[in-house]
Amino acid sequence: MVDMAKQRRFGVKPEFATQVSIEELHGRDVATLNADEKAAFDFFVTQGRKYGVAISVISEAPQEELERANSRQQYDEIVERYPSRITVTSN
């Protein structure tokens, strides 16, 4: 079993997060990701630039509601309630 907390702590790319799985995220809705896809998504949102990967989320959430979010967790919860599309670009 892969110890994701240990890998994140040391800045190691998750074993399951191959280029194929990253590209499979493109065009998907954040709310439809399974646990492994969500872990890869979270990792590359925060660490992607180190690996030449940029991930962005285009959400249909109301801008006013997003601006009221006080933390990353609140922002993510708002985004998950509305349809959103993941875009992946790599260098």
pLDDT in tens, 58-85: 989 999 999 999 999 999 898 878 998 9
CA distances in angstroms from 87 to 5, 17, 55, 62, listed in the order given: 25, 16, 6, 19
Tell me the residue range of the domain where 66 lies. 20-90
Q: Which residue has the tokens 């191959």?
A: 18
For 16-63, how does the pLDDT look when each residue is reduced to its tens digit (9 = 90+)? 555 557 888 899 988 888 888 888 888 888 888 888 889 998 989 999
Identify residue 77 by its one-letter amino acid code.
E
Q: How many domains does the chain have?
A: 1
Residue 13 pLDDT more than 80?
Answer: no
Token pair, residue 73, equals 């967790």
Query: Residue 6: inside a domain, yes or no?
Result: no
Task: Say how many CA atoms lie within 13 Å of 16 toward its Cβ.
Answer: 15
